[in-house]
Amino acid sequence: MNSPALEARIDLSAVAHNIEVLQAHTTAALMPVLKADAYGHGAVQVAAAVMSAGAAEIGVATIDEALALRRGGIDAPLLAWLHGSSADFGAAIEADVQIGVSSPRELTAVVEAARTAGRTASVTVKVDTGLARNGVAADEWDELRDGVATASAEQSIVLRGVMSHLVRGDEPGHPLNSLQGERLDEAVADLRRLGVGPEIVHIANSAATLTRPDLSRDLARPGIAVYGRSPAPDLGDFGLIPVMTLSAEVLSVKKIPAGQGVSYSHTWTAPSDTTVALLPAGYADGVPRLLSNTLRVHINGRSFPNVGRVCMDQMVVDLGADGGGVEVGDRAVLFGTGEHGGPTALEWAEAIGTIDYEIVSGIRGRAVRTYVGAPAPIPNGRHTPVAAGPG
């Protein structure tokens, strides 16, 4: 079977390897974060891989993401924590999805949905310990805390967890990391004084999982590291293996004379007679236009530069006067593991002043995801959530 013209190849065995690397750095159980369709890698497939590799639970941003996993046959414990005014808490309760709450208003809505459903909602309180983003604000804490105690007493909810999010996890030695951990512990202690202590507590992201095991509490929530991208590139790759390789078929090869401009506005002009190749990848597929005349690709183990503007659905590379031995039908690696000096998503990111999270999660359009290294089936289709810890 021929490969797609534009392919995002997802190596699920690399996912399993990365889970092993993360687990080796912490004694806490793992809750891999699979939001945004698993950072563009395919949430259902990655969910099966992480659970088969030993993860305890799965985290996503929205209820819709959690429900999509349920429809895909994923029966693992799920937590969703970012909700708009139209969030369907009733559907989450019916699907056994844990609900993150970040305000008294959200708690009230969850309690009402639980009463309507005649079921107890599993709730995780998200505390803002310094990020000033999603999470219970300090001036709403007392109201939220008391509301949790009341709702727990009437059995509308069970307090599954308390969580927060680090501001500077990629700077392991920054004092704010420890301070956020202390603030989280204070919130947990406050709830325990009311007799509603959580079953689990979590704050560590990828960087903290790998560099600050003291912050892991009961669970660690790695995100980008699951996909083989270092959360702190200055500290190395931690032995992680990039999961996604983006490649494109060479659609045409043509000779052009010296002085010939290439692509829109002729931002590159051939300094001498040369040969160029056309690839079916552009900014509609997630190749940033800002990379024009900057990125490189690997074809048959050799590196070739992009020349001219990256267009909506195609780009051009310079093969040199001899054509580099490239033929129509060959494949160009746009980014991947970096093996043999190949291009990486981090290289793209650094070239345009962003992070590789944005690069991999932005691959879209006509890029067809194919999967290799499939995990073993999930035993009995069900995983047991992590047991309560000391918090």
Give the pLDDT confidence of 194-246 residue by residue, as tens digits: 999 999 999 999 999 999 999 999 999 999 999 999 999 999 999 999 999 99
pLDDT at 377: 53
Our answer to whether residue 283 is catalytic in this structure is no
Say whether 312 counts as a known binding-site residue: yes
- Assess whether pLDDT exceeds 90 at residue 6: yes
Q: Which residue in this structure is represented by tokens 């995002």?
A: 8
Q: Read off the pTM.
A: 0.94
- Give 59's strand partners: 33, 79
Mean pLDDT taken over the chain: 95
CB 74 within 8 A of CB 99: no
Our answer to whether residue 126 is catalytic in this structure is no
Residue among 35, 126, 283, 371 flagged as catalytic: 35
Q: Which 8-state DSSP code applies to residue 286?
A: T
Q: How confident is the model over 272-279, as a mean pLDDT?
A: 98
3 pLDDT band (50/70/90 cuts)?
confident
pLDDT at 1: 61
Say whether 163 counts as a known binding-site residue: no
Residue among 39, 126, 254, 264 flagged as catalytic: 264
374 pLDDT band (50/70/90 cuts)?
confident
Q: Which residue in this structure is represented by tokens 């190395």?
A: 236
CB 247 within 8 A of CB 7: yes
pLDDT at 365: 87
Task: Identify the H or E element spanning 371.
Answer: strand 368-372
Look up residue 177 and give its two tokens.
């990391």
Q: How confident is the model over 258-271, as a mean pLDDT?
A: 98
- Assess whether pLDDT exceeds 90 at residue 380: no
- Assess whether pLDDT exceeds 90 at residue 160: yes
Comparing CA positions, the residue from 134, 123, 194, 113 lying closest to residue 162 is 123
β-pairing verdict for 368-372 and 121-126: unpaired
Look up residue 278 and give its two tokens.
């056309």
pLDDT in tens, 21-71: 999 999 999 999 999 999 999 999 999 999 999 999 999 999 999 999 999
Comparing CA positions, the residue from 321, 297, 303, 306 lying closest to residue 263 is 306
pLDDT at 389: 41
pLDDT at 376: 47
